[in-house]
Structure 1
Amino acid sequence: MTIQAGQEAVIVEALINGQNTKSLSQSAKENPANPSEIVGYFPVTTKEQAVEAIEAAAEAFKTWKKTDIAERVTRMRKAIEKIRAAESEIVNLLSREHGKPLYDAHGEIYVSLMWMEFACNEAAAALQAEVQEHDHGKTILSYDPIGVVAAISPWNYPIALSTIKIAPALLAGNAIVLKPSPYAPLAAAKVAEIIASEFPAGVINVVHGGADVGVELTTNPRVTKIAFTGGTETAKHIIKAASDTIKDMTLELGGNDAAIFLESFDVNDERAMRRIVVSNFLTTGQICMIAKRVYVHRSIYDQFVEKYIEAANRWIRIGDPFNPETTVGPVNNVKQKEYVTGLVEDAKQRGAKVIPLGRILDQQQFDQGYYLQPTLVLGCDEHDRIVVEEQFGPTVPILPFDDVEQAIELHNESIYGLTSSVWGAEDEAIAVARQLEAGTTMINTAAVQGLDVRFPFGGFKQSGIGREYGTEGIRTYTEQHVINIPKMLDLPYIPE
């Protein structure tokens, strides 16, 4: 493998107790747009080093939990400014290691900073103790830091889904050990290092490595909370591993989000058609909350498909993430490419029609990378794999429905319930939305286009446990502590 022309290989190390800690071995991270090129190296952290990181966090927590909320916020705001100052460098690295087009990488930084700033603005109020005086005396409800947080982030939005954990955990007075995904470890580690530079040693630690490190993070008794974003199957192992020590958990897991287009939807609305296309193929379809299956009322189905293809062919341009024309880059890794390819081939074998979408800007570039041309899948059955499984890639099935009740049933029979969207006349769409089993439902938009960090985000059923974002996303890193001062100290029914 070779280093990308004009770019130096980035090297990150584990960060333990404020020090970069070398490991005996390193792994190379390739460029998904050209897998022969090395973007950088990250360490294979050992189990023993993971233990050191947890111990450092536990020791730092003893002091950090006592710091005033104003100091915590001040430190986080300084970190935000450092991230903003380094945005170009971070975006460049993220695009190289992940495959995101530059606009998409900038978008991830935008969402990350928006959340961090919201958390800073709301932390004091969210964590303020509540004092209630009542007929029975006085009660103080405080939100106390929970301890050492093990944060495990995924590869699709590595920075946003790391900072969604780091910011509230630290603002609430906890210490944290972050483990980025080996499929996108570099930019997330760099951002964590920037944040760590504004905090006392040990408050933020970063480890890498394989399954043994993950097991240590989920079983070590000094870890009191796990914050994980990733696949549902992995989460099942985490839950089992953590059961012996009964850890608090926030789990944001898989989604097979449905978009429902009612009879009242205007198929001639070009901006709306562009929004659904973006909702299907942003980040090459590798977003947990992207619209992964589309249900369209049969009365508008044929015209919808026609207009959808037109909109997709206008917006989708597959190419080098650094080409300003590119809107869709490569899939992040070969394993995911093979999985998505398998779903599309399965649909073909079952008789579905697969329609390629968009324009390939450079065929040679396309052939050398982990690229997949986005596809529309028609004529599939509601129980086909491509409909019931989370594709996490650039393909989407569109299916007709005959009445609203059928669409609601098709939506709710999924094991997932992360987000959903309903498109059409607003009042009618809201009425449908109220019947959907989902953590978030958007009206006439979908995916990150409808995300609002001021409100809680999480899923129903096997899409997760708990909520992130909003005030709830700060308080989830605390324990509620009730202090009662009763007026009546002796209960009347207890004998002398």
Structure 2
Amino acid sequence: MSAAAGLIERENPARPDEIVGAVRVTDPAEVDSVVRRAGEAFLEWSRLPPAGRLAALAASADALAARKDALAVLLARESGKPVGDCRGEIGFAVSYLRWLCERAPGVLASREVDDGAGRLAVRRAPYGVVAAVTPWNAPVILAVLKLGPALAAGNTVVLKPSPLAPLAVTEAAGLFPGTSVVHGGPETVRELVGHPLVRKVAFTGGAAAGREIAAAAGRGGKPVLLELGGNDPAVFLPDFALTEADFERLVMASFATSGQVCMAAKRLYVPRHRAGDFVDAYVAAARRVLVTGDPLDPGVTMGPVVSAEAARRLEALAEDSVRRGGTAVPLGTWAARRTRDPAAAIVSGRGGDSGYGHGGYGHDEYGRDEYAHSGYFVAPRLVLGLADDAPLVAGEQFGPLVPLLPYDDEDEALARANACELGLGASVWSADEERAFAFAARLEAGFTFVNTHNRTGMSLRAPFGGTKQSGYGREYADEGLLEYVQSAVVHAPAAFRPGGPGMPAGAYPG
């Protein structure tokens, strides 16, 4: 990323000499006019009948679906995510919007009772202008998770995407009514969050930025939805029984998007007496499914990390792990370069919409040298032999380095899994589902998967969000819709309705 002449230019992490596109930086002084226009639009949008708002959102879903292939290529080029992964992200955003349009009428409905206690009406009222600040690693779905419910509820939205992936999400946001986009860095965020017409803030991103945003919003008395990442433990109980397909799914739970996912499996706790066999099966599964290379290659399942800074940080973390006595086991294979033509990346079938396809594409494990000198590629590694205080274990690595941590009994595994200030996700793996659910109830996590982890365990009906320093508030499900409304009550107590008896002298309402 570079900012010159008021532009944010986005490079291709796989080919840093290639500028994918640029967006204009929104001058902080201009943020005021953008928010004021959003406030004016709110007056009209909020007065639309709910059915009219949902019809407009359904049209947005159709428009997004029609643009899926082109947006996926753009997103792959600016973010480094495999193009199949990007198609999957946009397709999931479409599915969420369509689910939302079906679910919202019941969830957002007003209710009214008229009985002996009086007449009570409870309406789901929008806040007004919502500020949505989103990250680069899944920019379209993470924007849609805010735009969809906010707009359905009658709010308007000002979206501030990450400078590291602003292109595809800006195009996607243009398909939505009631939505404005501003671009820039921390100063733009401060102007947006602090604007008096912004009534609610939704943020997904790093913990430090989230705390700053929460503090700024708190000074204005504004509610905030925060999802601040995690250091998710995956705990394998002594009776776990994983097939080859299970191991393949587990590998991608850690290495999809090069490990740059808030809910990736980031710490693997394995019974000590089964650790050797586990490592063998894990390495074999990685060789089958984990293919590192150019994200426009439809056979690739892991691309570069997002920036040179991220690559340097991760290599330093790997070197530190080895200095501490750890052993870094290389994983997967490397693909030979295939094409520079973005249009060639729109291929049906190869790699699917999840980016996990791998069969028969001619991978070259010796291709890594080519990539190492031409993009921000970090070799995926399983790291053995680390103590719990090693930085790779104690903090969120946000990259393709994953520690395996043997344990001796379940109480020990639980204590070590919970010994982290972050509490976003976790997973429990067991042949006994009841045993897994009982263990999961003791984990300090907002979302615990059973016998899977990461995207394969998500559901539109399941609320997602963190505990501890991983934030608060929820996305997806009914809870995600209710984040963008507040109760507005009208109450006529029976005592004071026309013809009512009035309140007895000395009585206190209760």
Fold conserved (TM > 0.5)?
yes
Matches within 5 A, 1:128-143: 128-143=109-124
Which residue among 261, 271, 283 is the counterpart of 1:309?
283
CA deviation map 1:225-253 (0-9, x unaligned): 00000011111111121222111111111
Contact 1:34/1:365, CA 8 A, preserved across alignment? no
Cα distance in 2 for partners of 1:138, 1:451 equals: 41
Q: Deviations over 1:101-158 (max 9, x none)?
A: 1110111112211111111111111110122345422322211011110000000001
Contact kept? 1:118, 1:454, Cα under 8 Å: no
Match of 1:368, SS state, is coil
Shift in Å, 1:495: 6.7
Give ranges in structure 2 of 5+ residues lacking alignment.
336-366, 497-501
For the residue of structure 2 that corresponds to 1:313, the secondary structure is helix
Q: Tell me the SS of whatever aligns to 1:35.
A: strand
Aligned equivalent of 1:432: 439
Aligned equivalent of 1:460, options 459, 467, 484 = 467
2:487 is aligned to 480
- The Cα of 1:222 is off from its aligned counterpart by 0.9
Q: Which letter does structure 2 place at the counterpart of 1:434?
A: A
Q: Deviations over 1:414-439 (max 9, x none)?
A: 11111110001212111101111111
Contact preservation (8 Å) 1:227, 1:249? yes
In the alignment, which residue of structure 2 is the partner of 1:62? Answer: 43
Amino acid in the other structure paired with 2:219:
D
Inter-partner Cα distance in structure 2 for 1:272 and 1:80: 33
In structure 1, stretches of 5+ residues that fail to align are 2-22
What SS is found at the alignment partner of 1:346? helix
2:126 to 145, 152, 162: 145
CA apart distance, 1:402: 1.1
Matched, 1:86 2:60: no
State which drifts further: 140-149 or 124-133. 124-133
CA contact (8 A) 1:319 1:366 kept: no
Matching of residues 54-453 of structure 1 within 5 Å: 54-195=35-176, 199=177, 203-267=178-242, 269-361=243-335, 362=367, 363-425=369-431, 426-453=433-460
Q: Helix, strand or coil for the counterpart of 1:288?
A: coil
Q: TM-score w.r.t. structure 1 length?
A: 0.92
Q: Which residue in 2 is equivalent to 1:4? A: none
Output the CA distance in 2 between the equivalents of 1:466 and 1:171: 18
Q: In 2, are the aligned partners of 1:130 and 1:142 still within 8 Å (CA)?
A: yes
CA RMSD of aligned residues (A): 1.6
CA contact (8 A) 1:256 1:416 kept: yes
Normalised TM-score (structure 2): 0.89
Shift in Å, 1:380: 0.1
The Cα shift of 1:220 comes to 1.0
Amino acid corresponding to residue 413 of structure 1 in structure 2: A
**2 CA distance for matches of 1:475 and 1:430?**
27
Provide the rounded CA distance (Å) in 1 between the counterparts of 2:310 and 2:120: 52
Question: What are the Cα deviations for residues 153-210 of structure 1, in whole angstroms up to 9, with x where unaligned?
Answer: 0000010101110111111000110001000000000000122xxx3xxx21100012
Q: Secondary structure at the match of 2:379?
A: coil
Distance in 1 between residues matched to 2:74 and 2:507, nearest whole Å: 72
8 A Cα contact 2:112 2:120, kept in partner: yes
In 2, the alpha carbon distance for the partners of 1:135 and 1:432 equals: 47
Question: Given that residues 360 and 366 in structure 1 are in contact (C-alpha distance below 8 angstroms), is that contact kept between their aligned partners in structure 2?
Answer: no
Aligned mates of 1:186, 1:435 — CA distance in 2: 41
Amino acid in structure 1 at the alignment position of 2:381 = T
The question of whether the paired residues in 2 share the 8 Å contact of 1:127 and 1:475 is answered with yes
Q: Alpha-carbon deviation of 1:49?
A: 1.5
Aligned residue for 1:10? none
CA distance in 2: counterparts of 1:296 and 1:131, whole angstroms = 53
Q: 1:492: how far off?
A: 3.4
- Separation in structure 2 between the aligned mates of residue 374 and residue 55 of structure 1, nearest angstrom: 47
Write the distance in 2 (CA, Å) between the matches of 1:309 and 1:175.
48
Whole-angstrom distance in 1 between the partners of 2:428 and 2:277: 18
Contact 1:416 1:463 in 2 (8 A): yes
Aligned partner letter, 2:465: G
One-letter amino acid matched to 1:418: L
Deviation at 1:367, TM superposition (A): 2.1
Distance 1:376 1:431 in 2: 29
- Distance in 2 separating the partners of 1:227 and 1:482: 25
How many Å separate the matches in 2 of 1:62 and 1:233?
A: 34
CA–CA distance in structure 2, aligned partners of residues 92 and 449 of structure 1: 23
Cα distance in 2 between the residues matched to 1:105 and 1:378? 31
Give the Cα separation in 1 of the matches to 2:134 and 2:326: 35
Relative distance call for 1:192 and 1:495 in structure 2 (3 A) is closer
The number of residue pairs the alignment matches comes to 468
Aligned partners of 2:507, 2:481: CA distance in 1, in Å? 45
Aligned partners of 2:62 and 2:94 also within 8 Å: no
SS of structure 2 residue aligned to 1:159: helix
Paired AA for residue 126 in structure 2: P
CA distance in 2, matches of 1:406, 1:140: 52
- Cα distance in 1 between the residues matched to 2:324 and 2:503: 71
Cα pair 2:322 2:328 within 8 Å, conserved: yes
1:470 matches 2:469: no
